Amino acid sequence: MATPDTPTPPTASVPAAAGKDRMSRGLTLLFAIAGGTAVANLYWAQPLLDLVARDLHASTSLAGWLVTATQIGYAAGALLLVPLGDVLDRRRFIPGMMLCSALALIACALAPSIGALLVAVTLLGLTTVSGQLLTPLAGDLADDTNRGQVVGTVVSGLLIGILTSRTISGLIADAAGWRTIYFVAAAAAVVFALLLRRAIPPLPAKAHLSYPQLLLSVWHVIRQVRAVRWTLFLGAIAFGVFTMFWTALTFLLSAEPFSYSVSVIGLFGLIGLAGALAAQRAGRLHDRGRSLPATGWGWAAIVVSFVVAAFADRSVAGIIVAVVLLDIAVQGVNILNQTRLFAVAPQARSRLNTAFVTCNFIGGAVGSATASVLWSTGGWRAVSLTGAGLGCVALLVWAFGRRGPLLSERSG
């Protein structure tokens, strides 16, 4: 349902029934697994940096740029490639991108030097945008009455891929060397490309724009629709406090009194799987017309999680409680934000997803940098109190923003 803030779509809108009966449970599960496998490509290298540095005779600091290069490539792919989902045949485009990822993964596995590997992981980040193409596609194929649940399930798959990728990478590298994980991931990309080519139904292009017009239209929607700006701002803060917490948590668990090893610290990420389950539940709240109030409750939970964390600097149990509560709240807020954005302009979901991912990426980068500064000046308590304060700011933005004519409580 359009609002006074919603501009008239520049192209013919998608028929109201276009998504009915097209997103079966099996196809939803395939999208979730394929998307999770794709986004995991961004994180294979994180637990392997020391191993890669030794094997390629590079310094650990230089190997650390592998993560940064992958993220830079991913940011470029989200900005430059994801909008094409609105103008290309996604039945060909998405499998094509997965095959490109497979080639980049093979290049990573065969890299003879750290320089070659840096180039390969940058290309890997650039091409591993399938998950961000599958999410808006799921929104297009889903019925209006269950769009939130379907999108939530797909996003859950992406989150599970992120959370489990480091553990899987470490286990395979220990058993068969660091190059093996890239060969395995390349094979998986080819398999899912073939499966998706057969499973995605043929869909007409939703817009007919030149490439420059396509990129400019992302900015036009942000500028014209207040609801989009409001949602993107909340999303950036949510991802910012999330990455701030997890960056600082690594510092905390590495220091006294914990002094945990890298492998033990990595296991804390598995606790965050609760957040992946919360994403699907949050999608159902959207379908029931409870998106805006549920977002407020999510931000209240984020504030509480940081308050708990502030007093848990010497308690593993307290940290686990804070991790579970923060992950559930942040991922719930994330899927509610994303599903509401998809309701603004059905013909531009891929472009709106570009804006969403880019803003979250910026928020996450700022959050990581802020964590380092706060840790060096005030330690864990400073990080926790800042997170709680930002959560309160977001609550105020939510409270004032929801009073205006923002978005319909239902998808469509």
10-residue stretch averages of pLDDT, the chain, 412 residues long = 38 40 84 93 80 84 78 85 88 95 96 94 92 89 83 85 81 86 96 95 79 85 85 92 85 85 72 69 76 92 96 92 91 87 79 86 81 89 96 93 54 36
Asked if 375 contacts 251 with a C-beta cutoff of 8 angstroms, the reply is: yes
| Fold observed for domain 209-412 | Growth Hormone; Chain: A; (1.20.1250)
Contact between 166 and 357 (Cβ < 8 Å):
no
In sequence order, which residues have a C-beta less than 8 Å from that of residue 396 and are 6 or more positions away? none
What CA–CA distance (Å, rounded) separates 233 from 197?
A: 35
What 3 state SS string does 163-207 have?
Answer: HHHHHHHHHHHHHHCHHHHHHHHHHHHHHHHHHHHHHCCCCCCCC
Closest CA to 364 of 223, 273, 240: 240
CATH number of the structural domain 21-206: 1.20.1250.20
Q: Is 19 helix (H, G, I), strand (E, B) or coil?
A: coil
User: Where do the domains of the chain lie?
Assistant: 21-206, 209-412
CA atoms within 13 A on the CB side of 5: 18
- What pLDDT does 279 receive? 61
Cβ-proximal residues to 385 (8 Å cutoff; 6+ apart), any chain: 306, 310
Q: Name the token pair of 114.
A: 């750290």
DSSP of 334-397, one letter per residue? HHHHHHHHHTT-GGGHHHHHHHHHHHHHHHHHHHHHHHHHHHHHHHHHHHHHHHHHHHHHHHHH
Three-state DSSP class for residue 1: coil
Instruction: Return the C-alpha torsion angle 154, 158, 159, 160, nearest 10.
Output: 100
Tokens standing for residue 54: 């030794």
Closest CA to 132 of 162, 174, 108: 162
Nearest CA to 166 among 74, 253, 174? 174
- The alpha carbon dihedral of 170, 244, 359, 300 has a sign of positive
Q: Are 237 and 393 in contact (CB under 8 A)?
A: yes
Contact of 217 with 348, CB cutoff 8 Å: yes
**Residue tagged 């209240």 (tokens):** 300
Note whether 161 and 40 are within 8 A (CB): yes
Q: How far is CA 74 from the centre of its chain?
A: 11
At residue 48, the 3 state secondary structure works out as helix
Rounded to an integer, what is the distance from CA 104 to the centroid of its chain? 21
Q: Say if residues 142 and 25 touch (Cβ distance below 8 Å).
A: no
Q: How far from each other are the two terminal CA atoms of the chain, in whole angstroms?
A: 6
Residue type at position 164: T
pLDDT at 364: 80
Both tokens assigned to 238: 């949510």
Q: How far is CA 387 from CA 244, 309, 312, in A?
A: 8, 10, 14
Rg for the chain, CA atoms, rounded: 21
Q: Supply 100's token pair.
A: 């490109």
Neighbours of 172 (CB within 10 A): 20
Q: How far apart are CA 124 and CA 88, in angstroms?
A: 21
Among candidate residues 334, 20, 283, the one with its CA nearest the CA of residue 149: 283
Helix and strand totals (H; E) in the chain: 16, 0
